[in-house]
Amino acid sequence: MSPRLINLVSIPVFLVLTAVIMAKNPNEPPPKTVTGLYKKIISTLSSVKNITQADAIAGVINKLKAMAYRGMEEGRVTFSENDLKKFELSKEEVQDLMMKVPGNNLLGCNLLDGNFIFFFCHQSLQEFLAAGFVAEKSLPKFMIFNYEDLHKERWSVVRRFVCGIIYDDTSDSLHDVSNRWLKKRILAGSIRSQLKEYVHNDHFRMELYIAIYESGDGDLMRKISEVNASGISLSHDEAHIVGSLVARSKSLECLDLSNCNINDELLAIITWCLEKRTQLKEVNLCANNFSAKALRSLLGHRRIESLSGKSDWEVRSNL
């Protein structure tokens, strides 16, 4: 399983859902992205006994997309029964994807008053459904939303899913994306522009790299020319993302991993991702904390024209 999914499946509800998915299709490889995992989760839940007809399934999912998007617009993660009615949803239809608690708010719960509030079983589920609504917008509305809102921090996870949905060219019964090619170009243009604009913003840069990773093996990933993670203290899944971007890009020239708090374990993840990549032009590994042995493993049979930071290990271990 991709390290990108480990954090998600550490949450009990998603561990159970992932186990159900893998048990249902044991011969299929696990999804590589969180977008792929959610698609399988929704497809699996759509076939449970509470919703029995294909048309009903599509209708409920589409209404949930619209409600999730409205919640994101308004900064809300909870919904009332009146909200469900506004989107023509019933409590029975949403019970597989939403949880309910008694009361008018999360602080005051009264089992006897008959009122409930609803929220998605995980915040990222709301963001995935909202992303579906964004991806299905008409081209003019998508273009406006992309330039006016999608780059804002509260939409960052939604943007990851939007990239995953729009760049997935395989048959997808959950999403009806029109003008896919043009939307890809719009996303690619804005992400490349923001990578240049936010070169000194570590958090925003990493968010953009995650969005590119969620797009899969398409042009957005293949055409990335530089990965600059300098100054970002990489987690395990972020190290996997960086390594995957480098491995899959056809035009990458520079990889800056300086001051990323990289130890042997993180460098091993990056090395594993680069297994099939035999040449890199420029790599910066300064100000990290890994051993000469880990560095030798990374170098392996690879040809790296310019390696910054190598001199530190040469002095210590005669590389």
Give tens-digit pLDDT for 164-176. 999 988 877 889 9
The structure's pTM equals 0.86
Mean pLDDT of 55-78: 91
Structure confidence by residue, pLDDT tens digits, 247-263: 888 888 889 999 999 99
CA distance 254 to 278: 14
Whether residues 25 and 99 fall in one domain: yes
pLDDT tier, 8 (very low <50, low <70, confident <90, very high otherwise): low
Contact 275, 250 (CB under 8 A): no
Does any domain span residue 84? Answer: yes
Whether residues 172 and 270 fall in one domain: no
What DSSP string runs through 43-108? Answer: HHHTTSTT---HHHHHHHHHHHHHHHHHHHHHT---EEHHHHHHTT--HHHHTTTEEEEESSSSS-
Whether residues 146 and 256 fall in one domain: no
In which order are the strands placed within the sheet that holds 303-308?
226-228, 254-256, 279-284, 303-308
Task: Among 15-24, 238-247, 308-317, name the most confident range.
Answer: 238-247
Whether residues 228 and 89 fall in one domain: no
Whether residues 19 and 129 fall in one domain: yes
Expressed as residue numbers, the domain containing 313 is: 224-319
Q: What is the CATH number of the domain that holds 294?
A: 3.80.10.10
pLDDT at 162 over 60: yes
Q: Pick the range with the lowest mean pLDDT from 43-57, 143-157, 228-242, 286-300.
A: 43-57
When the pLDDT of each residue in the chain is averaged and rounded to a whole number, the result is: 84
Which among 96, 100, 92 is positioned nearest to 119, based on CA atoms?
100
Task: Please give the structure tokens belonging to residue 177.
Answer: 């994306």
More confident residue, 103 or 79: 79
* Beta carbons within 10 angstroms of residue 270's beta carbon: 23
CA distance 300 to 90: 59
Whether residues 54 and 176 fall in one domain: yes
Helix (H, G, I), strand (E, B) or coil at 199: coil
Domains contained in the chain, number? 2
pLDDT tier, 185 (very low <50, low <70, confident <90, very high otherwise): very high
The pLDDT of residue 51: 47
Whether residues 194 and 233 fall in one domain: no
